[in-house]
Chains A and B, each alone.
Chain A
Amino acid sequence: MADNILQVKNLKISFRTVSGTVKAVRDISFNLQRGETLAIVGESGSGKSVTSKAILGILAGNAIIEGGEILYDGKDLLRIGEDDMHKIRGDKISMIFQDPLSSLDPIVKIGKQITEAMLLKNKANRRAGRREFNAMLAALEAHMVEAAGRENEEKVAEIKRLVKLFDSFNIEALRLESAYNEAYTQAEELIADIEDFLFRVEHRQKLDVRGRLVAFGKKLALVSDPFLTSGFEDRTAEMAALLREQVNAIGDKFEFARAYLRKLIGKESTSEVSAEVVGTLERLKGLLGEIVSRARPNFFRIGYCKLSGQDISLAGRTVEELNEFALAYLEEHFMREFFGLATAGLGHSFAAALEGKREVVAAAEKVRTFFRGEFTRKEAKALYRELVACVDRSIDRLEPIKDSVAYTFRTSFRSAIARYFFYKKNNPKEEARFARQTRRRDALIAKGKTVDWKVVPKVVMDLDGEIENILSVYERLAKKYEAEIAAAEQVDLNEKCYALIDFFKDKASQVVYRVTKRMAREKAIKLMDEVGIPEPRIRFYQYPFEFSGGMRQRIVIAIALAANPDILICDEPTTALDVTIQAQILELINKLKAERNLSVIFITHDLGVVANMADKIAVMYAGKIVEYGTADDVFYDPRHPYTWALLSSMPDLDTDEKLDAIPGTPPNMIYPPKGDAFAERNKYALKIDFEEQPPMFRVSDTHYAATWLLHPDAPKVPVPKAITDRIARMKKLVGGKDGK
């Protein structure tokens, strides 16, 4: 089963403006799967950017979210507060904006703009990591105790001891690891510094050689951790001595400073650095490279050994041997027992959740009859409480990946019920108001007066529809649970336990990972290198205006990727760029997507751009999705007239005849058309298109289109010739290439 990372359901957004309410997004739904690219295609004003902004929670102040939900990681993004949103925005979901010129701050250097978010997010991440670690461990302990039986006091005490031990050796491991990391980053920084130095020497830039050498010596002293440098002690000491010697050779501090000043004032070049210094630094770089490339000790295991007083020094053995030894020791003295108990705890929690799920599924009939019949607010509230308690029991808290549908059940269900009662109360009022105003207006007109006001249209919701809405929230969950109950047999508890321990390790490393300014700088430079900016070391200190359009867009991508997000939203990232740069940026996004298993939402108006990027395509027009399908569906078997028009209105390299321009302009969304919004500009429009909105017709399992032409009674309209011609031509071209 596909893993939906983001689900958008029945989203409706409008904007209050001076001249009326603009309905920007009118009831759209789509799913985004992990590692998949969804392209949203449409012209400006079709609501594609608004949708993406809603996902990030950065809609303009005059936006009204009229309904719907956006589910991500167990949360409904439309209903969480700004504090929670902060943790998601930029960190989990980030965005590349359309115009690189206006999305970068013109008076802040590029480097600062990239590192800013890293530094700010790091502190928050550390705290959040610790919190999640503790909460999960507490839950695990509780379930382990339950599984072993609460009355078995001996066992409970043993469990408590083990969990405490687990916690403390995790922390011990963290301490060791952070010391190691510190030394490791010092080494990496030193390598970078030396590279920087050598780069400057090569380019004959002015340099304070003595000062730099002294700094290198100081830094080299910091590269010392028993796990990092053991075995290299002699060589590092030798290098330190060499460095000192060379500093001495350059001379006394003041003497050197005077000479340096003289050179600065005079025309004499200061860039001559003796070959010896360069040689030494190159050797030092090599040594550090060796140190850094050594295998990493497994601190999770070593932490335990240290805690139980074992010998963990590297004397006389390699890192691999130490890892082996620590693994065996950990396995023998702790892990086997702990793992067994933890698996039991997991099993207990899983069984309890399964029971809860069964309850939820079993309640189906009751819920259905209840909501289909008469009910009061009080009764509904009671049932709501009961159900929510049931769902709460059915959630397996030891599941590292949160299940969006279950976690958001409470809020969705509550708001659906509240909506029903609101309209139940409001509908008659609204009807009365509308009747009253219409009467008044009619009376005035009957008297022969000119009336310069309109009756505000009534907002009346269909109550049956609202009930269906309530039920659909519940049924969605029930259906999911049914599938899970059916699959419960195959769940491997051992595997789950490994995943859980990995989760703990992950959170622990999150706690210990401290980003300093220098580290952020190095990471940013690496990132700039990754997105293809030449000479990142110099570029890091430049301002946005010193970059060309394509380079600027790369910077924006680097900023978006800095936090390692799950979802990347690209809002027309290449519209402002020309073809070659556009191709580079698209390749870059594709490459990063494959490397990091990103999910991408790609917004554009150019179908040509989408062809290579998208797995699925949603064509939007006037705030609605008019066609939805895989890339092959939409390009080779388009069904909606708007998609036809988009495909045939742009010339490609072999077009000779007059273009099929789409006449007119998109409709004014303050007064959205009653029927199909595209009917006005559509030469294939049927009569019904002007009267009623077409539903989504199913073409195949993956392909849907909202046009009356797909209705069984509709006349058969062939796909325009321009499109069929092009498909045939391209097929020949592709086939020809294959033949070679």
Chain B
Amino acid sequence: MENNNEVLLRVEHLCQYFKMGRKELKAVDDVSFEVKKGEVFGLVGESGCGKTTTGRSIIKLYDITSGDIYFKGQRICAGTRSYRDAIAAAKKAFRSEAKALRASAKEDPAKAEEVVAQIAEKRKALQAVIDENKRKIASANYDHKNCDRAYAATLLEELKGEYAPKFAAAEGDEEALKKLRGEYRKKCAVARKTKLITRIQMIFQDPIASLNPRMTVREIVSEGLVINGIRDKAYIDEKVYEMLELVGLVREHAGRYPHEFSGGQRQRIGIARSVIMRPDMIIADEPISALDVSIQAQVINLLNDLREKLGLTILFIAHDLSVVKYFSDRIGVMYFGKMVELASSDEIFAHPLHPYTRSLLSAIPLPDPHYEKQRTRITYNPIAEHDYSTDKPSLREVCPGHFVYCNDAEEQKYRSELGL
């Protein structure tokens, strides 16, 4: 793939918590990564580790708890929990400090005045922290709600720029001007409705459950366009046919219903539906795990072709490591809501560092009896493997482009393993 370093999607400290009765489930906990333009980023992990939640959070199916997601440089999602926590922590610190100061004043009455002054100073500092965080919360909320508006505004701006010379050229010719104005108005209407998030599309896991059984293929595939305000039937049909042919179906299929297709064809419909919006990025959430073996290869080949033809960026979520290895440029390994290792796919398979990645790699079954009889599975027990009681871990870059979730001691160990 072309090797440019333009970052298309940046996820920073993403947290997604779900309320479970009184407790909270940390489905995704402080995950950060970048997806570069034109690459395939694979996300692997066992079920329940939060990889699907990450995908869904990015596409704004959930309101994220904390963290920021930037798409094309624009903040599209923002959570406020971290700021609130910062305010609460600052308040608590202030309270305990003030208490200690007052206690010392009681012991030594001479200091009383000094203490009062100190407390006032501290209170001021606290207020500053609170104001700062409140400002951030307001900005996050604004971005979270209005990112689409901003995007629509830029689109309108672009349209204006595009049509201004045209209007100037057609000056005087009433007929042409009228036509141009009509066109411009229509395009503006579409642009106003366009949401930034439609530049990211999703392919779902289960091709049977994700297609509405009461809609024809034409309706399913064109739905995105219709929602976006396009009313031109001929244009829509043309687009639908183009997409169907692109994914290896034929025009005649447009009038049929999903139940008339086999599993692989249904997944192709799902893919057509997502590429018709000409997205910059596709989130493929286990697109092949519900398919038959012989069909899986067909769909993988199709995705590969599309990626070359349309220059797509793909966030590929899967649990089948062989497929991820084959398909992705970079791979992120998730474990219980945390990103534990992130590197290019060759690197991660050649030098897995985190013990969980190792256990995951050692569990891949290969079609070779002699190899299988020798294969020993490494088990991963987080409690036994790590001692994070004093030294807190974080995601660190152990060597260029290779990130591992570890603490200082482990970082040293990993570095020495790599021979650095």
Contact = CB atoms under 8 A, between A and B. Distances in A.
A347 B165 CA distance: 111
Contact of B369 (A44, A579, A611, A658): A611
Interface string A43-74: 11000000000000000000000000000000
A737 interface: yes
B300 interface: yes
B298 interface: yes
Nearest to A44: B292
A646 B293 contact: yes
A609 B365 CA distance: 6
B48 A579 contact: no
A221 to B, nearest CB: 43
A43 B370 contact: no
B319 A734 contact: no
B375 interface: yes
A128 interface: no
Interface stretch (B93-101, B322-330, B406-414): B322-330
B1 to A, nearest CB: 13
Interface stretch (A164-172, A190-198, A414-422, A580-588): A580-588
A582 B365 contact: yes
Contacts of A660: 297
B297 A581 contact: no
A733 B366 CA distance: 12
B325 to A, nearest CB: 5
A43 B292 contact: yes
Nearest to A617: B369
A611 B292 CA distance: 19
A186 B276 CA distance: 70
A662 to B, nearest CB: 4
A647 B368 CA distance: 10
A606 B293 contact: yes
Interface in A107-157: none
B295 A647 contact: no
B133 interface: no
A650 B325 contact: no
A720 interface: no
Contacts of A665: 262, 264-265, 295
Given A548-B47, A605-B292, A659 B300 contact: yes
A608 interface: yes
B301 A579 contact: no
Q: Interface centre among A606, A652, A731, A737, by most B CB within 10 Å? A: A652
Contacts of A653: 321-322, 325, 349, 364, 366
Contacts of B264: 665
Contacts of B365: 579, 582-583, 586, 606, 608-609, 611-612
A405 interface: no
B369 A631 contact: yes
B366 A608 contact: yes
B416 interface: no
Contacts of A666: 294
B47 A659 contact: no
Contacts of A608: 322, 364-367
A659 B301 contact: yes
* Interface range, A side: 35 or more
B377 A730 contact: no
Given A578-B46, A651-B323, A612 B372 contact: yes
A730 B326 contact: no
B360 interface: yes
Contacts of A631: 369
A652 B367 contact: yes
B65 to A, nearest CB: 23
Given A635-B368, A651-B300, A612 B373 contact: yes
Contacts of B46: 578-581
B25 to A, nearest CB: 13
Interface in A631-647: 631-632, 635-636, 645-647
Contacts of B323: 650-651
A549 B326 CA distance: 26
B363 A579 contact: yes
Interface in A593-613: 605-612
B371 interface: yes
Contact of B371 (A582, A632, A730): A730
Interface string B288-328: 00001111111011001000000000000001111101110
Nearest to A612: B372
B374 interface: yes
Contacts, number: 138
Interface in B355-398: 359-360, 363-375, 377, 380
A583 B372 CA distance: 11
A655 interface: yes
Contacts of A730: 366, 368, 370-371
B363 A647 contact: no
Contacts of A488: none
A649 B60 CA distance: 35
B322 A650 contact: yes
* Interface range, B side: 35 or more
B301 A737 contact: no
B366 A652 contact: yes
B355 to A, nearest CB: 12
A579 B319 contact: yes
A726 interface: yes
A577 interface: yes
A586 to B, nearest CB: 8
A661 interface: yes
Nearest to A738: B374
Contacts of A662: 294, 297-298
A295 interface: no
B248 to A, nearest CB: 10
A579 B371 contact: no
A577 B47 contact: yes
Contact of B325 (A580, A609, A651): A651
B301 A578 contact: no
A261 interface: no
Q: Interface centre among B327, B349, B375, by most A CB within 10 Å? A: B375
Contacts of B292: 43-44, 605
A278 interface: no
Given A583-B377, A611-B366, A658-B301, A652 B294 contact: no
A663 to B, nearest CB: 8
Contact of B297 (A635, A650, A734): A650
Given A43-B292, A579-B363, A611-B367, A649 B297 contact: yes
A734 B370 contact: yes
A688 interface: no
B294 A579 contact: no
B45 to A, nearest CB: 8
A115 to B, nearest CB: 28
A632 B368 CA distance: 8
Given A579-B363, A580-B363, A652 B372 contact: no
A727 interface: yes
Interface in A31-45: 43-44
Nearest to B367: A607
A44 B372 CA distance: 25
Contact of A647 (B47, B367, B374): B367
A726 B322 contact: no
A645 B294 contact: yes
Interface of A: 43-44, 548-549, 577-583, 586-587, 605-612, 614, 631-632, 635-636, 645-647, 649-653, 655-656, 658-663, 665-666, 681, 726-727, 730-731, 733-734, 737
7 contacts: A608-B365, A611-B367, A650-B297, A652-B367, A659-B326, A660-B297, A731-B370
Closest A-B pairs by Cβ, 6 of them: A651-B326, A612-B372, A661-B297, A608-B365, A662-B294, A583-B363
Given A43-B292, A579-B364, A727-B368, 18 more contacts: A579-B321, A587-B377, A635-B368, A635-B369, A649-B296, A650-B293, A653-B322, A653-B349, A655-B326, A660-B297, A661-B294, A661-B298, A665-B262, A665-B265, A726-B367, A726-B368, A734-B370, A734-B374
